[in-house]
A and B are shown apart, each in its own frame.
Chain A
Amino acid sequence: MIDKLEKLLDKVRLNRGDFIDVRWEQGEGLATTIQNSRPEQITFQAEEGVGIRALINGGWGFVSVIGSKEHKIEKGIEMAMKIAAATAKKTKEKGVIPEEYVFEGSHKMKFREDPRDISIEEKYAVIENFERVTREYSEKIVATNATFREWFQTEIVVNSLGTRVSNEYSNINLSCMATSREGDNMQNVYTAKGTTNGWEEIRKYHTTEKGEELAKRAVELLKAQKPPSGRMNVVMDQSLVGVFVHEMIGHFEEADAVLAHDSLFEGKLGQQIGTKSINLYDDPTISGLRGSYHFDSEGTPTTKRELIKNGVLVGYLHSLETAAKMNVPPNGAGRAMSFNYRPIVRMGNTYLGTGDLSFEELLERIKDGLYLQYSYGGYVDTAKGEFYFSAQGGYLVRKGELLAPIQNVSLTGHCLEVLQKTIGVGNDLAYAFPGSCGKQSQWVPIHAGGPSLAVRDLIVGGQ
C-alpha cells in the first residue's frame, strides 16, 4: 500500500511550498454490551478509506475516499488540490508545512496475549460476569450496563516531502455503569479500564471485585448527603485530577488553539502560570495507556512532551503546521479520528507530575472542605479559561478528616486561578482516567491522571 500511495503522489506536480499527504486507514473491531442482564449487542465494525490533504498556494483542502481503489484516490487528490486552490483565494493567513521534517518508520502491534486470539464467547463472559456481579449486589441497583470494545487499525501516511510511515494501533476498553434508585433518588456511577496492551490487562482486571465496588458505591450514594454549594477547599482523587489536567490545562496547550487566539496560554510561554509544585506532561510513549501511540496521523514520531515545569509554561503540543508557524520541531500531536477527518492537535496521555504529600497530609492542608472522587467528565472554554467538571461523589472534610459521604457534585472556576491555588500535590500518581476527547467533531482515545491534589477556593455547585 505504501508504494501504491507513493506512486500516486509521484504523478502530482506541485509548486514550491505546496504539499499533499495521503493517509490510508483500515480498521476493524468488536463491541459487545449487556444491559440489565439482557444481551444488548455484539457488533463488528470495519472501515477502509483514504484521507487526502492538499496545501496549494497556502489554502487547505481535504477529501476522503472510501476504499483504496487507485482511480478513486487519484480523483480524490485532484479534488483536494482543486478545493485547496479555491480556498487559497479566500483565506487571509496562508497555511504552511515545514519542509525539513521528513519521517520514515513503521510500528507493528505487539501483545503478550493478542485480543484477536480470544474468542468472542470469552470476551462476552467477561462482561457477563462484570454486569451480573454489579446487578446482583443489591435490589437497589436498577440499571446496569457492561461493555467491551476493541479496535485494531493500520494507518499509512505518505506525503509529498518524502514521509513514509506505517503505524498500527489498537485499544481495548472494558466498562460498567450502575444506577441505584430509591423513589426519585437516583445515583449513577461508572468505572472503566482502557489500554493499548493486550488481553493480559483484562485478565488482571478483576471484574468480580470491581463490579462489587461499583455497586457498593452506587448504593451508598443513595444515603449520602446532598453536596454543599459555594467556594470551598477541595482534595481531588486521581481520576478527577486526570479530567482537571486534561480539560483545564491540556486544551490550552494545543498549539492550534494558541495560534487561533483561542487559548489562555497564548503569549505565556516562559511565564510562571502556577505554583512551583505544578509539573505537567503529555506522553503518548508510555506503554499500554489508552492515549499511547508511536506515530501521529501526519507520520511524526511522538515523544514525551514537557508542558509545565515547576509552574512555568515551557511547551505546547504541535502538529506539523503549528510547529512551522511557531518555528519549533513538531512533537507528534497531529491526530485524526479516522481517514474521514483531517489531523488536528490532540493530547495523548496527559498527567500531573507526582508530589510528596500523603493523602492524609493533603486532607490536613485543606482542613475543611470536600474530598471528591471519580470523574463524570467536564469541559473548558479555552478562550475564557472558565471550566466545568463533575465528580460522581465524595466526602465532607472537617478538621482534616473524612466525615460524611456526599452525592455527585460539580465544580467551576478559572483555570489560571486554580493553578495558582494548588496547595498540595500527592505522592500517589495514577493514570486513573481512561477516556475519549472530543474536538471539532473528532473523538480520539486519551488517558489522563496524576496524584491526588489539594486546591483551595474552588466553586462547588450543589443541587
Chain B
Amino acid sequence: MDSRQIHEAINFGLKRGADQLEFFILHGNSETVQIEKSAINASENKSISGMGIRAYTKKGLGIATTTLLTERSLKELTKKAVKLSKIAPPDELFKSLPDPFTVYPKVNGLYDKTITNFPDGHLTDLAIEAIDAGLEKHNVIISGTFEREVVEESIYNSLGLEVNQKATALAGVIYAKAERSGDIATSWDYQRIREAATFNPAEIGSNAAKNAVSLLGAKKVKSEEMTVILDQRSTQDTFLTIFGTGLNAYEVLLKTAFFIDRLGQKITHEQITVHDNPLYPGGSASAIFDDEGVPHQKITLIKKGIAIAYFSNSYTANALNIPNTAHATKSSLGGIPYPDLNQLQIKAGDWSSEELIRETKKGIYLKDTSLEPTTGSPNISILVDQGFLIEKGEITHPLKETMVGTNVFSLLKNVDAVGKELLNEAGSIAPMIRISKAMVSSEE
C-alpha cells in the first residue's frame, strides 16, 4: 500500500463528508520459536500487518480496521469509518487531530538489519543457547518463547501529517521450574532489545534457572506490617502502573487520576526523580513519534518527589488545555490512541543494595514483582510471585502464598530509601527502593 493510495483514500473520505481522517498502517511479520519441556517445540511465522482508520464528522468518531491491505479494502474501510462517524454523536471535547510537524528527533538504534536478515534457523539456535545455559548448572524444566519482529509503521492524516518509522525487536522469555522432594518453584527471565548485538540468550536461560532454584524451600510468614524492598524491575513496573494512571491526562479528564490537582505538590521521597524517555538510543520502547505521528520527547514526571507533569495525547491536550507530550499509544489497530508511558528512567539514590537489606530489621524483598493498583482504584493487593523474607538484616527464606497490601498514596509516602545501583534494560532504568511499611498477609 503506497502513499498515493492513502492520499486518494483521504480525499475519498473527505468527499464522503468526513471533517478529518487518520490512517494508521502496520506492515510487518514476526517469527516465533516455542520451547516446551526444555526443547524446541514449534516455529511460527506470522503477519502483523493491518490498518486502522479514524474518521471524524461533526466531532463524531468512527473507526474501521482490517488485516487486509488491498486497494479495495482501503476504499471499503474508509467508507465504513466515515459512515460510523456520521452515526456517532458529537464528542464536544474533540478539537482536532495533530497538525503536521516539520522537525522530528533522531533516535538511533531502532532498526537493526541483522535482525531482519537472520539466517533460517538462527532464532531457533538462540533459543537452544538459552535452554542449554538454563540446564548447565541446574536441574530444571525450561519453557518459553523467542521472537523476532520487523515492523514498519506509517501514519497519515487529512491535515497533512505523513510519517513513517521502521523498527526491529528481538525478545526472549524463559520460564524455569525447579523441583526438590515435592517442593516446586518457578521463575523466569527475559530480554527485549532492538539491536541483535546486545541480546544475550544464555543469560536469560541461566538467570531463569538460578532464580527458580533460589525460590525452593519457600515458606509462609506471619501476617503483619513490615518493610518492603523492591528490586529494580519491581520499581520500574510499580512506577509504570502508578504514574501510568496517576499522571495520565486521560485519567485526569475522567477524574480518576490519583494525582489530579497535585502538580507541584510533594507526593513521595525527595530522592525520587522520574523521567519518561522514548528517545533513548536502542530503547525497547523508543520511537521517533507517538501513535498519532507527534514527535516524541523526554519528559519529567516527578522531580525530587514533586509531581511535575501530566502526560497527554492530542485529544487530552486540547481538552485540558495542556501541552501535548506525545504519549498517544494504540493498544490495537482499531484502538483509540490513549496516553500511555514508554520507558521510565528513575534516578539513583544513595543506598547500596547491601545497605538496604542490612538496615531492614524485618521485611520482604520483592524480585520482578509489581505492586500495581487494582483497576480503577488506588488500592494495592498483590501476590508475591518472587519474594524473600528479611530478618535482622539478612535474607532468610523465599516466600509462598504471601500477599502485600497497601495503597498508592501510602506506598509513595512510605518510600524511605532509594538504591544507588541502577538497572538499565534497553532504556528502562530504575534503582531499588524501600517502603518502610506495608501489610503482608500470609499465615504460618
Q: Among A162-170, A176-184, A428-436, which stretch is in contact with chain B? A: A176-184
Q: Does B4 contact A (CB under 8 A)?
A: no
Q: Among A83-91, A267-275, A362-370, A448-456, which stretch is in contact with chain B? A: A83-91
A179-204 contact mask (Cβ, 8 Å, vs B): 1 or 0: 10100101110100000000000000
A223-259: which have CB < 8 Å to B? 229-231, 259
Q: Interface centre among A45, A67, A84, A385, by most B CB within 10 Å?
A: A45
Residues on B with C-beta less than 8 A from A354 are: none
In the assembled complex, the CB of B205 is this many whole angstroms from the nearest CB of chain A, namely 15
Q: Does A40 contact B (CB under 8 A)?
A: yes
Residues on B with C-beta less than 8 A from A143 are: 254-256, 376
Residues on A with C-beta less than 8 A from B407 are: 184, 463
Residues on B with C-beta less than 8 A from A92 are: 37-40
Q: Among B60-68, B162-170, B271-279, B339-347, which stretch is in contact with chain A? A: B60-68
Also in contact, A463 and B405, with CB within 8 A (given A64-B47, A66-B49, A230-B223): yes
User: Given the complex of chains A and B, what is the CA–CA distance between A356 and B273 in angstroms?
Assistant: 58
Residues on B with C-beta less than 8 A from A280 are: none
B46, A410: Cβ atoms under 8 Å?
no
Q: Does A439 contact B (CB under 8 A)?
A: no
Q: Does A74 contact B (CB under 8 A)?
A: no
Also in contact, A42 and B62, with CB within 8 A (given A48-B68, A412-B402, A461-B441): yes
A376, B375: Cβ atoms under 8 Å?
yes
Also in contact, A79 and B67, with CB within 8 A (given A143-B255, A261-B141, A412-B383): no
Residues on A with C-beta less than 8 A from B256 are: 142-143, 179, 181, 186
In the assembled complex, the CB of A180 is this many whole angstroms from the nearest CB of chain B, namely 10
Also in contact, A381 and B45, with CB within 8 A (given A42-B62, A261-B177): no
A87, B143: Cβ atoms under 8 Å?
no
- The SS class assigned to the A binding surface is strand
B199-242 contact mask (Cβ, 8 Å, vs A): 1 or 0: 00000000000000000000010010000000000000000000
Q: Does B184 contact A (CB under 8 A)?
A: yes
B143, A408: Cβ atoms under 8 Å?
no
User: Given the complex of chains A and B, what is the CA–CA distance between A187 and B401 in angstroms?
Assistant: 25
Q: Does A4 contact B (CB under 8 A)?
A: no
B174-217 contact mask (Cβ, 8 Å, vs A): 1 or 0: 00010000001110000000000000000000000000000000
In the assembled complex, the CB of B360 is this many whole angstroms from the nearest CB of chain A, namely 21
Q: Does A44 contact B (CB under 8 A)?
A: yes
Residues on A with C-beta less than 8 A from B49 are: 66
> Among the listed A62, A66, A86, which residue makes an inter-chain contact with B121, where contact means beta carbons less than 8 Å apart?
A86
B379, A408: Cβ atoms under 8 Å?
yes
B26-64 contact mask (Cβ, 8 Å, vs A): 1 or 0: 000000000011111111111101100000000011111
B376, A188: Cβ atoms under 8 Å?
yes
In the assembled complex, the CB of B259 is this many whole angstroms from the nearest CB of chain A, namely 10
Q: Does A277 contact B (CB under 8 A)?
A: no
Also in contact, A49 and B177, with CB within 8 A (given A42-B61, A383-B186): no
User: Given the complex of chains A and B, what is the CA–CA distance between A42 and B56 in angstroms?
Assistant: 11
A390, B374: Cβ atoms under 8 Å?
yes
> Among the listed A47, A381, A463, which residue makes an inter-chain contact with B406, where contact means beta carbons less than 8 Å apart?
A463
In the assembled complex, the CB of B347 is this many whole angstroms from the nearest CB of chain A, namely 26
Nearest-CB residue, chain A, relative to B178? A383
A390, B381: Cβ atoms under 8 Å?
yes
Residues on B with C-beta less than 8 A from A413 are: 401
> Among the listed A35, A84, A459, A462, which residue makes an inter-chain contact with B254, where contact means beta carbons less than 8 Å apart?
A35
Nearest-CB residue, chain B, relative to A339? B67
Nearest-CB residue, chain A, relative to B33? A87
Nearest-CB residue, chain A, relative to B49? A66
Q: Does A260 contact B (CB under 8 A)?
A: yes
Residues on A with C-beta less than 8 A from B382 are: 388, 410
Q: Does A340 contact B (CB under 8 A)?
A: yes
A229, B61: Cβ atoms under 8 Å?
no
B43, A44: Cβ atoms under 8 Å?
no
User: Given the complex of chains A and B, what is the CA–CA distance between A142 and B81 in angstroms?
Assistant: 30
Residues on A with C-beta less than 8 A from B47 are: 49, 64-66, 340
Nearest-CB residue, chain B, relative to A410? B381
Q: Among B9-17, B89-97, B348-356, B389-397, which stretch is in contact with chain A? A: B89-97
> Among the listed B40, B381, B400, which residue makes an inter-chain contact with A463, where contact means beta carbons less than 8 Å apart?
B381
User: Given the complex of chains A and B, what is the CA–CA distance between A461 and B440 in angstroms?
Assistant: 8
Q: Does B336 contact A (CB under 8 A)?
A: yes
B87, A47: Cβ atoms under 8 Å?
no
Residues on B with C-beta less than 8 A from A65 are: 47
User: Given the complex of chains A and B, what is the CA–CA distance between A44 and B69 in angstroms?
Assistant: 16
User: Given the complex of chains A and B, what is the CA–CA distance between A39 and B253 in angstroms?
Assistant: 14
Residues on B with C-beta less than 8 A from A383 are: 177, 184, 186
B69, A66: Cβ atoms under 8 Å?
yes
User: Given the complex of chains A and B, what is the CA–CA distance between A43 and B40 in angstroms?
Assistant: 39
A229, B37: Cβ atoms under 8 Å?
no
Q: Does B377 contact A (CB under 8 A)?
A: yes
B37, A93: Cβ atoms under 8 Å?
yes
Q: Does B70 contact A (CB under 8 A)?
A: yes
Question: What 15 additional pairs, Cβ within 8 angstroms, besides A44-B64, A86-B120, A340-B47?
Answer: A38-B93, A41-B336, A43-B84, A46-B67, A59-B40, A62-B44, A64-B44, A120-B84, A121-B87, A187-B376, A260-B37, A390-B374, A459-B441, A461-B405, A461-B441
Closest 4 CB pairs of A and B: A188-B376, A461-B403, A60-B42, A388-B383
